[in-house]
Structure 1
Amino acid sequence: MPKYDSAKRPPLIIDEFFQLIRYRDLVILIIENILKSRYKRSTLGIFWMLLNPLLQTIVLTIAFGTMFKSSLPNYAVYLLCGLLIWNYITQTTQYAMVSMTQGGGLLRRIYIPRATYIVASAGNGLINLLVSIASLAIIIFFLNHPITLSWFFLPISILILTMFTLGFALLLSTAAVFFNDTVDIYQVLTQALFFLTPIMYPPSILPTEIGKYLIWNPIIPLIDIFRIPIYNNTLPDMDIIIKAIILATIMLIVGWTLFTNKADQVIYRL
Structure 2
Amino acid sequence: MNSLKELYNYREMLFSLVRKDLRTRYKGSVLGFLWTFLNPLLQLCVYTIVFSVILRSDVPKYYIHLFVALVPWLFFATSIQGSSASIIGSKDLIKKIYFPRIIIPISVVNAAFMNMLFTMIVVFFALIFSGIGFSWYILLLPIIMILEYLLALGLSFIFSALDVYFRDLEHILGIVIMVWMYLTPVLYGIDMIPDNFKPIFKINPMTPIVVAFRDILYYKQMPDFSNMWIILAWSIALIVIGYVVFEKLQKKFAEEL
Q: TM-score range by the shorter chain?
A: over 0.9
Alpha-carbon distance in 1 for matches of 2:3, 2:154: 14
Alignment of 1:107-186 (within 5 A): 107-186=94-173
The residue number in structure 1 matching 2:243 is 256
Which whole-Å deviations, capped at 9, do the CAs of 1:69-108 have from their partners, x for residues lacking one? Answer: 43x2222222111111111011112111222111011112
Distance 1:141 1:96 in 2: 34
Name the aligned partner's letter for residue 63 of structure 1: V
In the TM superposition, what whole-angstrom CA distance separates every residue of 1:129-160 from its partner, at most 9, and x where no partner exists? 10000110121121011211000001111110
Matches of 2:63 and 2:19, distance apart in 1? 31
Change (3 A) 1:130 1:242: same
- Could you tell me which amino acid in structure 2 is paired with residue 174 of structure 1? A
Tell me, yes or no, if the aligned pair for 1:218 and 1:247 is still in contact at 8 Å: yes
How far 1:188 moved relative to its partner? 0.7
User: Which residue of 212, 216, 225 maps to 1:225?
Assistant: 212
**Equivalent residues of 1:68, 1:201 under 8 A apart:** no
Which residue is 1:47 aligned to?
34
CA contact (8 A) 1:174 1:259 kept: yes
TM-score w.r.t. the length of structure 1 is 0.88
2:33 pairs with 1:32? no
Residues 211/237 of structure 1: CA separation in 2 closer, same or farther (3 Å cut): closer
Aligned residues: 256
Structure 2 unaligned spans of 5+: none
In 1: Cα distance, 2:213 partner to 2:235 partner: 14
2:76 is matched with 89
Identity rate, percent = 24
Deviation at 1:64, TM superposition (A): 4.0
CA RMSD of aligned residues (A): 1.8
Indicate the SS of the match to 1:40.
Answer: coil
Contact 2:80–2:155 (CA<8 Å) still a contact in 1? yes
Which residue of the partner structure matches residue 7 of structure 1? Answer: none
Post-superposition offset of 1:31: 0.8
1:162 to partner: Cα distance:
0.9
C-alpha separation in 2, matches of 1:128 and 1:75: 23
Gaps of 5+ in 1: 1-13
- Tell me: CA distance 1:189–1:64, structure 2 relative to 1, closer, same or farther (3 Å): farther
Shift of 1:266: 2.2
SS in 1 for 2:30: coil
| Structure 1 Cα separation of the partners of residues 56 and 193 of structure 2 | 13
Q: How far apart in 2 are the matches of 1:194 and 1:62?
A: 22
Q: Give SS of 1:96's match.
A: helix
Note the C-alpha offset of 1:254. 0.9
1:239 deviation in Å?
A: 0.9
The change in CA–CA distance for 1:143 and 1:81 in structure 2 (over 3 A counts) is same
